[in-house]
Amino acid sequence: MNDSVRNALEWISGTPLRVAIILITAMVAQAFGTRAIDRAMSRLSTADLLPGPRNIVTRQKERARTIGGVLSSTLKTVIWVVASAMALGELGFNLGPIIASAGILGVALGLGAQTLVRDVLSGIFMLVEDQYGVGDKVDVLEVQGVVEKVGLRVTCVRDKKGTLWYLRNGEILKVGNQSQSG
Into how many domains does the chain fold?
2
pLDDT the model gives residue 6: 75
Q: Is residue 182 situated within a structural domain?
A: no
Asked if the structure places residue 123 within a domain, the reply is no
- Total-model pTM: 0.61
- The confidence score (pLDDT) of residue 159 equals 93
* Whole-number average pLDDT of the chain: 83
- Cα torsion 166, 168, 169, 175 to 10°: value is -60
What is the pLDDT at residue 29?
96
HSE, CB side, 13 Å, CA atoms: give it for residue 157.
23
Q: Same domain for 65 and 9?
A: yes
Assess if residue 105 is contained within a domain.
no
pLDDT value of residue 34: 94
Q: For residue 26, is it within any domain?
A: yes
- What is the C-alpha to C-alpha distance for residues 101 and 87, in angstroms, rounded to an integer? 18
For 143, counting Cβ atoms within 10 Å of its Cβ (0-12 exposed, 13-18 middle, 19+ buried), the class is middle
Residues 164 and 90 in one domain: no
Residue 136 lies in a domain: yes
* CATH number of residue 13's parent domain: 1.10.287
Q: What is the pLDDT of residue 52?
A: 55
pLDDT at 80: 93
What is the domain range of residue 83?
3-94
Q: Kindly give the parts of the chain with pLDDT less than 50.
A: none
83 shares a domain with 20: yes
Which of 69, 94, 119 is the C-terminal boundary of a domain?
Answer: 94
CATH of residue 144's domain is: 2.30.30.60
pLDDT for the residue 16: 84
Task: Tell whether 106 is covered by a domain.
Answer: no
